[in-house]
Amino acid sequence: MPLKAIDLWGHWGAPNPWKVCIVLEELGIPYNIQSVEFSEVKQEAFLMINPNGRLPAIKDPNTGITLWESGAIIQYLVDQYDRDERVSYNSFPEKYFTQQWLAFQISGQGPYFGQATWFARFHPEKIPSAIDRYVNEVIRVIGVLDKAIETNNTGWLVGDKCTYADLSFVTWTSVAEGLLRELNKLDGLETRYPRYTEWLTKMEERESVKKIRERMARGRAEHGLPP
């Protein structure tokens, strides 16, 4: 039986919902994006879907489940729909390593990259110590990824293929690239973090990543938001 389309509550420019779309694309799962504005996410209608009032959330009519938090959604999607391990592993220890890197994305990359863009871009008053704190953290996280790719020695974070763990970082690294360029901090990054740079280049060649990066960039451009 063909799969029914998954409903995804998303947003034209937000990295966390687009992250889930990359995994949906990779697995060939049909989906509909329900676009929500940030002004709506803390209203009762959306709080019924996600008590935390944030994007993304999904409803899967094939199973009837509603889920929120991009990490939990991605784990659900590969669990249900990636039985042939296209972007995941069932073997030990790879299964646990992919989960570990996803947790690092959710806990170590997303929140801090988000704070960096807030203080460097959006907050009206420039607070240098806060900007430095979070921009340094962005670069530190890039360093952790570079080192891990070097250690694993396959070009990927886990095993010898591109998994959801790698893919989960891409929408935020796109935002980071734009931000670091604005702050004149992009120069030299390629030579300092060559494996990170190669890793991103390889991911950006994938159809799923190309397509979603383009849609996110277009959404942001249309709303006057930098990449």
Partner 1 sequence: MAAAIHSNSAAEASKGPQQPLTLYTTQTPNGIKISIALEELEIPYKVFKHDFVARTQKEPWYLAINPNGRIPAITDTFSDGSQIHLWESGSILKYLVEQYDKDFKLWYPAGTRENYELFSWLFFQIGGLGPMQGQMTHFNRHVTEKIPYAIERYSNETRRLYSVLEKQLATSQSGFILSKFTIVDICFWSMVAASGWAGVSLAEFPEIHRWYEKVLSRPSVAKGMNVPEPHPIQVLMDDKTGQKAKEFEEYSRSWVMTGMAKDAEGLKKRDPAC
Ligand X SMILES: N[C@@H](CCC(=O)N[C@@H](CS)C(=O)NCC(=O)O)C(=O)O
Site residues for partner 1 per CB under 8 A: 51-54, 63-65, 67-72, 75-76, 79, 92-93, 96-97, 99-100, 102-104, 106-108, 110-112, 115, 123, 125, 127, 129-130, 132-133, 136, 139-140, 143-144, 147-148, 151, 192
Measured from the CB atom, the residue of 42 and 211 that comes closer to partner 1 is: 42
* Least CB distance to partner 1 at residue 211 (A): 25
| Phi/psi of residue 104, nearest 5 degrees | -65, -40
Residue with tokens 């592993």: 89
Work out how close the CB of 167 gets to partner 1 at its nearest, in angstroms, rounded to a whole number. Answer: 16
- Integer Cα distance of 78 and 84 in angstroms: 10
Residue 38 gets which letter from DSSP? G
Using alpha carbons, select from 152, 136, 138 the residue that is nearest to residue 198: 152
Strand-pair partners of 7: 32, 59
Of 118 and 190, nearer to ligand X (C-beta) is 118
Largest Cα separation within the chain, whole Å, is 56
Shortest distance, CB of residue 112 to partner 1, whole angstroms? Answer: 7
Q: In what order do the strands lie in the sheet with 57-60?
A: 31-35, 6-10, 57-60, 65-68
140 binds, among ligand X, partner 1, none (CB under 5 to 8 A by kind): partner 1
Residue 129's binding partner, choosing from partner 1, ligand X, none, with beta-carbon cut-off 5 to 8 A by kind?
Answer: partner 1
Provide the binding-site residues for ligand X, judged by CB under 6 A. Answer: 14-16, 38, 41, 54-56, 69-71, 106-108, 110
The Cα–Cα gap between 133 and 117 comes to 12
